[in-house]
Amino acid sequence: MSNDQETPEAQVEVESGVENEIVNEEPSHTEVGEHEYTVEELKQELEEAKQKAHEAWDKAVRTQAEMENLKKRTQKDLEDAHKFALTSFGKELLPVFDSLVLGLQAATGDSEDVKKFREGSELTIKQFEALFAKFNIVAIDPLGQPFNAEQHQAMMMQVVEGAEPNTVVNVFQKGYLLNGRLLRPAMVVVAKAAEKPSEDNAKA
């Protein structure tokens, strides 16, 4: 056998020696030093934290205010819905009431039938008026008052002696308010100032 050939035992010893060297070799550690904050950096971070806290608080306050406003608007819408739920019905009811009043005014004479009709009509009108008062329907009867474009509808204007210009001198039809909101404008005649004679007419 040649001396150049190594025995298996020698190979095992060599390999074992290499393994021992690998096991005994300690891994190197890289130490990371902690960052030391300066006073200026700490101040800056504190300011940033304060700013974020302020923004969060401001956002919370705005959100709370928006919720309160939404709650108030919703509550007002509900109140208005209750107050003005009778608007359409009231508008349809007024012509019936007007016809009843006109019928009473037209009922003239002293016969028993006319008297009974007038008594029945007057009683029905009182019931209507009680119903209006219950639901806060208020009549607008502006005779002698200044013309109000928000509540009155001018049917015509005419010169009336002794009447102040722009005042109501006749009411064709009463108006009505429902809880302070216009249900129907009053149809009126408005006084106007007399026209001054022209210079040519004055000289003639």
Q: DSSP per residue over 26-79, as a string?
A: PPP----PPPPPPHHHHHHHHHHHHHHHHHHHHHHHHHHHHHHHHHHHHHHHHH
| Number of neighbours of residue 169 by Cβ within 10 angstroms | 19
E strand or H helix at 173: strand 168-173
pLDDT tens-digit profile, the chain (204 residues): 444 554 545 454 545 444 445 444 554 544 545 667 788 888 888 888 999 999 999 999 998 888 888 888 888 878 777 778 889 899 999 999 999 999 999 988 889 999 999 999 999 999 999 999 999 999 999 999 999 999 999 999 999 988 899 999 999 999 999 999 999 999 999 999 887 766 555 555
pLDDT confidence of residue 200:
54
pLDDT confidence of residue 22:
46
- Confirm if 155 and 138 have CB atoms less than 8 A apart: no
For the sheet containing 137-140, what is the strand order?
137-140, 175-178, 181-184
